[in-house]
Chains A and B, each alone.
Chain A
Amino acid sequence: MAIIEASGLTKTYKSKTGPVHALSGLDLSVPAGTVKAILGPNGAGKTTVVKILTTLIRPDAGTAIVDGINVLDDPKAVRSIIGVSGQYAAVDENLTGFENLEMVGRLYHLGGAASRRRAQELIDLFELTAAGNRPVKGFSGGMRRRIDLAGALVFNPKILFLDEPTTGLDPRSRMALWGVINRLVDNGTTVLLTTQYLEEADQLADSIAVIDDGKVIAEGTSDELKAQIGGHRVVIALVDAADGAAAREVLARYGAGEPQVSSDGRGLDVAVTDGPPALQHVLADLRSAGIELHDAGMRRPTLDDVFLKLTGHKADLAADENEDEKQELVK
């Protein structure tokens, strides 16, 4: 049964340059005990979905049901079963890491002793033991982020919402967080996370919803999505651009789609359905054709590949400021 059920969510923000449609009829369903990733570029509406489901903003239209509760009817009941970590570290600068977490525990009504115990556990878990008793003011961005994430875990929530949880984390903390999320899921927590990285969605999510312009444009498991865009890509770099045409022919032979050629004519890549054998075939054919290579390999599809395939346009990373601008306007 779905523990999160959203249908027809619409949200428009006013801006000086006219209305901004953050969500235009978004549907989402997350089965209990699973991890759902919302994958999309900046400005696609990821943060808006999370804010609606966590009772922070109201949609213009549509319904959102969380654990059987309509978020508009009883926001407080929803808040008592969720943990949230937003896109920006929501911590009090003047409190220490420990005090921040203890405060969150008390506001979840865990009581003083349990709040302190829990705060210390999370400080240790996120490897902030040395800094835990210093005011957050002096923390690095990554450390603030970890305190904020710990805040979402103070009360083992039934549903955990994480908005771009690993943005700004070093690889080590990222792995640590993934570990924590996986263990929570093993214990039955449902997780909804947003991300710009297919790799992250791949690692964590049972199911991925790709969103663009405030709508879900594709949904499925990571394998299903990758199959849509041809799984792996074989990538080669030529020594001599003059071999381009011949190399392109070889790639086309084993590829699942049209090979892409870089602007200097020396880098080529193509989507393949079965990675390693395709790479072996390509290398063998190139060798017998006497084509010299600088480099060759396979790579996983990126968000850009997914987008190019699904929408015909690249995930617009230049739209970086968009989401921020929209949020500016939330009143």
Chain B
Amino acid sequence: MTTTVERPVLAPPNWNPLSLWFSDGWTTTKRNLIKIKRTPDMLVFAVIQPIMFVLLFSQVYAGAIAVQGTDYVQFLMAGIFAQTVVFGSTFSGSAMAQDLKDGIIDRFRSLPMSSSAVLVGRTNGDLVLNTISMIIMMATGFLVGWRVNSSMGEFFAGLALLLLFSYAFSWVMALLGMSVRSPEVINNASFIILFPITFISNAFVPIETLPEPLKTFAEYNPVSALVQAARELFGNEGSAPVPDVWTLQNPVATVLIGVVVLLVVFVPLCIRKFAQISSR
């Protein structure tokens, strides 16, 4: 106890607000990247689950579900990609709830940092995790016969669209996590949302096979648009006619509009919620 602790107060450097925002966002992102590295169960979930989905669906349903103009594996992959990135957003919800429970939210909120930084770092962490999942899934898909039949540019556009949607959806889950406040509850609650929006869609079956009113729900479900967009950009759409609704006829535009709407609504809601929460 002989070390000197007292030194002159370090004056914060006079950075401009934008570089402060980037610095805070990077600091909290790094925190979440370290968490990914040190939480093996999270990595396992992000890596093993997509492999399982690809293998199970492609081997179990391939014989039973007929898709016009292409085989089921080609049709399936975009659906699995979309499902995985949407499910991946749950991490933001459970992580925010866990942070609240652990009390570290109080530490962050008492620091002179950007009020959105914790959320930015959290959603960035999800983005990295989803990118890892995506690479693993694509490799697994390739092994079971999935092929991209489009240009390099279209392929990357499809990848970017999937990740963009997952990023926007992470903010929805983050708000849910801060509202529910219990990591256990969030996992259960999120499935109530995630199962319908991923399964009542064109992800695993052609939309025209669905009965009403599920068919109408699926046609306007943003996840359907995401799947349709990815299928088209990867060149896996087959020859079946696309349902004659605007959202599926213009899937890329629909996804982009959906992303903007989600971000415009949920980013401010999240930041406002974050400014009001306190642990315990």
Chain A residues within 8 Å of B, Cβ to Cβ: 51, 54-57, 76-77, 79-80, 82, 84, 86-95, 99, 103-104, 106-111, 114, 118, 121-122, 124-125, 127, 135, 148, 151, 153, 155-158, 176, 179-180, 183-184, 186-187, 324, 327-328, 330-331
B242 to chain A, nearest CB (A): 45
Q: How far is the CA of A121 from the CA of B3 in the complex (A)?
A: 8
Contacts of A153 in B (CB 8 A): 5
Given A51-B278, A84-B107, residue A111 in contact with residue B13 (CB < 8 A):
yes
Q: Contact: A330 with B12, CB < 8 Å? A: no
Contact yes or no, B24 A107, CB < 8 A? yes
Q: Give 15 CB contacts A-B under 8 Å.
A: A51-B106, A56-B278, A57-B278, A79-B110, A84-B107, A86-B103, A88-B279, A90-B102, A91-B102, A94-B35, A99-B34, A108-B12, A156-B7, A157-B9, A179-B1
Q: A76-B112, A124-B3, A330-B280 are in contact. Are A90 and B107 (CB under 8 A)?
A: yes
Bound CA–CA A86/B30 (angstroms): 24
Q: A93 contacts which of B23, B102, B113, B117 (Cβ < 8 Å)?
A: B102
Within 8 A of A (CB), among B130-149: none
- What residues on B are CB-neighbors of A77 within 8 Å? 112
Which one, A93, A103, A179, contacts B27 given CB within 8 A?
A103
Inter-chain CA distance A127–B112, complex, in Å, is: 27
Please tell me which one of the listed residues B13, B27, B109 contacts residue A55 in the complex, with CB atoms under 8 A apart. Answer: B109
A109 & B15 in contact (Cβ 8 Å cutoff): yes
Nearest-neighbor residue (CB-CB) of B39 within chain A = A94
**A98 CB, nearest partner CB in chain B, Å:** 12
Whose C-beta in chain B lies nearest to the C-beta of A110? B10
Interface centre among B20, B104, B113, by most chain A C-beta atoms within 10 angstroms, is B104
CB contact under 8 A between A79 and B111, given known A90-B102, A179-B1, A184-B6: yes
What is the size category of the interface that chain B forms with chain A?
A: 35 or more
Residue among B10, B103, B110, B278 making CB contact with A156, cutoff 8 Å: B10
Q: In the bound complex, what is the Cα–Cα distance between A122 and B223 (angstroms)?
A: 49
Given contacts A51-B278, A108-B112, contact A90 B104 (CB under 8 A): yes
Residue of B whose beta carbon sits closest to that of A111: B13
Q: Is the CB of A180 within 8 A of B102?
A: no
Q: A104-B111, A107-B27 are in contact. List 9 more A-B contacts (CB 8 A).
A: A51-B106, A86-B106, A86-B107, A91-B104, A94-B38, A103-B30, A106-B27, A108-B112, A122-B5
* Shortest distance from the beta carbon of B110 to any chain A beta carbon, whole Å: 4
Check if B108 is an interface residue, CB within 8 A of chain A. yes
Residues of chain A with a CB closer than 8 A to B108's CB: 107
Question: Does the CB pair B13–A109 fall under 8 Å?
Answer: yes
Given contacts A95-B31, A327-B279, contact A56 B10 (CB under 8 A): no
Q: How far apart are the CA atoms of A312 and B177 in the complex, in Å?
A: 45
**Interface positions of B (Cβ within 8 A of A):** 1, 3, 5-10, 12-13, 15, 20, 23-24, 27-28, 30-31, 34-35, 38-39, 102-113, 115, 117, 276-280
A69 to B12, CA, bound (A): 19
Q: Are A56 and B110 in contact (CB under 8 A)?
A: yes
> Is A82 within 8 A of B110, CB to CB?
yes
| Known A107-B27, A330-B278: A156·B9 in contact at CB below 8 Å | yes
Residues in A with CB closer than 8 Å to B115 are 76
Contacts of A103 in B (CB 8 A): 27-28, 30-31
Which 3 A/B pairs are nearest by Cβ-Cβ distance? A90-B107, A80-B112, A327-B280
Q: Please give, as numbers and ranges, the residues of chain A lying within 8 Å of B102 by CB-CB distance.
A: 90-93
Q: Inside 8 A of A187's CB, which chain B residues have their CB?
A: 6
Question: Which chain A residues lie closer than 8 Å to B105 at the CB level?
Answer: 90
**Looking at the complex, which one of B1, B24, B27 makes contact with A125 (CB distance below 8 Å)?**
B1
Please measure, in the bound complex, the distance between the C-alpha atom of A104 and the C-alpha atom of B278, giving whole angstroms.
18
The answer to whether B107 touches A104 (Cβ under 8 A) is yes
Q: Is the CB of A184 within 8 A of B280?
A: no
> Are A155 and B106 in contact (CB-based, < 8 A)?
no
Q: Cα distance A103–B105 when bound, in Å?
A: 14
Residues of A within 8 Å of B20, CB to CB, are 109
Which A residues are CB-close (under 8 A) to B106? Answer: 51, 56, 84, 86, 90
Residues on the A chain within 8 Å of B103, using CB:
86, 88-90
A90: B residues at CB distance < 8 A: 102-107, 279
- In the complex the two chains form, what is the Cα distance from A215 to B112 in whole Å? 30
CB distance from A35 to the nearest CB of B (A): 15
Contact B5–A107 (Cβ < 8 Å): no
Cβ-defined contact, B39 with A54, below 8 A: no
- Tell whether, in the assembled complex, residue A79 and residue B35 are in contact, meaning their CB atoms are under 8 Å apart: no
| In the complex, chain B residues whose CB is within 8 Å of the CB of A183 | 5-6
CB distance from B167 to the nearest CB of A (A): 22
Residues of A within 8 A of B107 (CB): 84, 86, 90-91, 104, 148, 151
Given the known interface contacts A92-B31, A106-B27, A121-B3, the answer about A155 and B109 at a Cβ–Cβ threshold of 8 Å is no
Q: Which residue of A lies closest to B2 (CB)?
A: A125
